[in-house]
Amino acid sequence: MKERKKAVFNWSGGKDSALALQKTLQENEYEVVSLLTTINEETLTSSIHAIPLKLLLKQADSIGIPLYTVSLSKDIKTYEEGMAEAVEHFKSQNVSHFIFGDIFLTDVKSYRESKLNPLGIEVVEPLWGKTSKEVMSDFLKSGIKTKIIVTQADKLDQTCIGREIDSMFAKSLPDGIDLCGENGEYHTLSYDGELFKHKIDFTIPKANLISYTFKMDNGEMKNFDYWQAELLV
């Protein structure tokens, strides 16, 4: 029997991540020794998706793979520094690959490779090259249960928070919105299905309007508003 390559799966907690992980486990080419999630040190929630650490740990427990967190701080530790420390930690366990759930954003994939390849880590993208329509079709067939927990406010309003990702949702998306939210239009939380040994219970009592400031490629600082679910475990 061919020896599997040791890998770390970079876990966002959302649908594409869950689909990529399920595909990885089914194909059995890699031994996934850990999930990895970046955490905001101040809020103890995941980057972008804002999933509470307690809920991420419940996901990991239900999947049956331990969670390794990289704590990030605006003033102390950058993403690059945190990932470099994670690589050093996992290379001592003979990990040679980091797996991600990206679809087609070339600049994101190139960035990951530029930071990880020099450290001796190969980037693996199980969903790479598929169209959003193909990925959504695969997701709907996967049996993974997922709800929307963040939307870009000028793209999708607060009524989408808590909505299940199903065929009805896919058909209802307005023009200009990527079917999988690959351009940041929405983010999700996966909580049930074949990937999980048991369902993860949580509630969404309300959605909050949150503003973030990002530095654009041209150096301009721009504000973006998001509807963000308040997640209770």
What tens-digit pLDDT sequence spans the chain (233 residues)?
678 999 999 999 999 999 999 999 999 999 999 999 999 888 899 987 899 999 999 999 999 999 999 988 765 558 888 889 999 999 999 999 999 999 988 888 999 999 999 999 999 999 999 999 999 999 999 999 999 999 999 999 999 999 999 999 999 999 999 999 999 999 999 999 999 999 999 999 999 999 877 666 677 788 889 999 999 98
pTM as predicted = 0.92
137 assigned to some structural domain: no
10 and 119 part of one domain: yes
48: containing domain: 5-124
11 and 66 part of one domain: yes
47 and 93 part of one domain: yes
114 assigned to some structural domain: yes
Closest C-alpha to 39, from 11, 75, 15: 11
* 98 backbone dihedrals φ, ψ, rounded to 5°: -115, 130
11 and 110 part of one domain: yes
46 and 156 part of one domain: no
Closest C-alpha to 142, from 126, 157, 154, 121: 126
State the CB neighbour count (10 A cutoff) for residue 109: 16
163 and 91 part of one domain: no
142 assigned to some structural domain: no
- The rounded distance, in Å, linking the Cα atoms of 12 and 153 is 20
Closest C-alpha to 178, from 15, 13, 49, 9: 15
144 assigned to some structural domain: no
26 and 119 part of one domain: yes
Q: What is the pLDDT of residue 224?
A: 87
Chain centre distance of CA 120: 23
36 and 116 part of one domain: yes
25 and 120 part of one domain: yes
Exposed/middle/buried for 17, CB within 10 Å: 0-12, 13-18, 19+?
A: buried
Q: Locate 146 and state its tokens.
A: 């997922």
Q: What is the pLDDT of residue 225?
A: 94
Q: Which of 109, 124, 139 is the last residue of a domain?
A: 124
Q: Are 5 and 98 in contact (CB under 8 A)?
A: no
Q: Are 179 and 170 in contact (CB under 8 A)?
A: yes
How do 97-99 and 122-124 pair as beta strands? parallel
Q: Which of 124, 157, 176 is the last residue of a domain?
A: 124
Q: What is the pLDDT of residue 14?
A: 96
How do 145-152 and 122-124 pair as beta strands? unpaired
Q: What is the pLDDT of residue 161?
A: 97
Domain count for the chain, please give it. Answer: 2
Q: Which of 108, 124, 140 is the last residue of a domain?
A: 124
